Amino acid sequence: MKRIYLIAIIISIILAAALIGYYLLTPRVLKEEFIGGKYNAKIIIEGFDERGFIGGEIVYTQNGTEHRGFYSSFLNSTLLWIKANTPEDAVFLNWWDYGHMIVGYTSRGTIIRNPSREALSSVSAPDKIAEFDSNERLVDVAKALTAADPNLTKFIMNKYSVSYILITTEDGGEKAPWIYQFAGFNQTQYVQLSSSSITFNPQDYTDLGKQTMIFRLLNDTGIEGFTQVYSDENVKVFKLN
């Protein structure tokens, strides 16, 4: 009897641990916020990130297909500005993480809104990725952001009929090594992040890295042919003249 009782206790402990693990690891929908707009978008709020921003998913329907992408409230002010200050047919060059937010929230276009299959290793939650963009597009965006010659950036923007660049402090921080890597560079020659670097820190960049568009756009270095049209503590938007 004692052995049976002991086995029952062990099973109960295992089941309790599994339930606790499931509860802790499974995202919880705290609430849904309807945005509406051209694509009937809504935000599913799941919690807060390490900087205190609301995070979750944005869900919208375009051309009869439902799309889902990452959402973070750190882009809210930028998205509202885009809706109010850019033409409806505007197209953005941005890293893929923000693509669904731009399309779903503002109804504007973007070169990429998903990673490519080749870039899935860079995604923190790969199980949430249901769509993939072409690797050619992702590499083109990476090259535009890491170019030392702004004319290459302009060439890529013209290739996709793009008139705006959206860049975030995360692009210049924790995402930068991946962006340089996908552009075909040895990222350590351009940026060497400290262990705590989440957002852009100019001191993390080498002399070579300071010549590239990521650094110049985030560090307020004037670039001929590009006009800054929006800025807050997290995001900058530039228009191609």
Q: CB of 214 within 8 A of CB of 172?
A: yes
DSSP state of 197: -
Alpha carbon 36 to its chain centroid, in Å, reads 21
pLDDT score of 38 more than 90? yes
Q: What percent of the chain has pLDDT over 70?
A: 88
| Separation between Cα atoms, residue 206 and residue 204, nearest integer Å | 7
Burial state string for 90-102 with b = 16 or more CB within 10 A and e = fewer than 16: bbbbbbbbbbbbb
Q: What is the pLDDT of residues 170-214, one digit of tens each?
A: 999 999 999 999 999 999 999 999 877 789 999 999 999 999 999
Q: Looking at per-residue confidence, does 31 or 23 come out higher?
A: 31
The three-state secondary structure class of 66 is: strand
The three-state secondary structure class of 216 is: helix
Q: CB of 190 within 8 A of CB of 182?
A: no
Q: CB of 200 within 8 A of CB of 173?
A: yes
| Separation between Cα atoms, residue 217 and residue 3, nearest integer Å | 68
Spatial strand order of the sheet with 109-110 comes to 109-110, 91-93, 164-168, 235-240, 226-231
Q: What is the pLDDT of residues 126-174, one digit of tens each?
A: 888 999 999 999 999 999 999 999 999 999 999 999 999 999 999 999 9
What domains can you pick out in the chain, each with its CATH number?
29-240 (3.40.50.12610)
Q: Looking at per-residue confidence, does 32 or 8 come out higher?
A: 32
Q: What percent of the chain has pLDDT over 90?
A: 78
| Separation between Cα atoms, residue 117 and residue 129, nearest integer Å | 10
Residue 100's nearest CA partner among 66, 126, 142, 125 is: 66
Q: Which two tokens stand for residue 48?
A: 């807060």
Strands (E), 177-232: 226-231
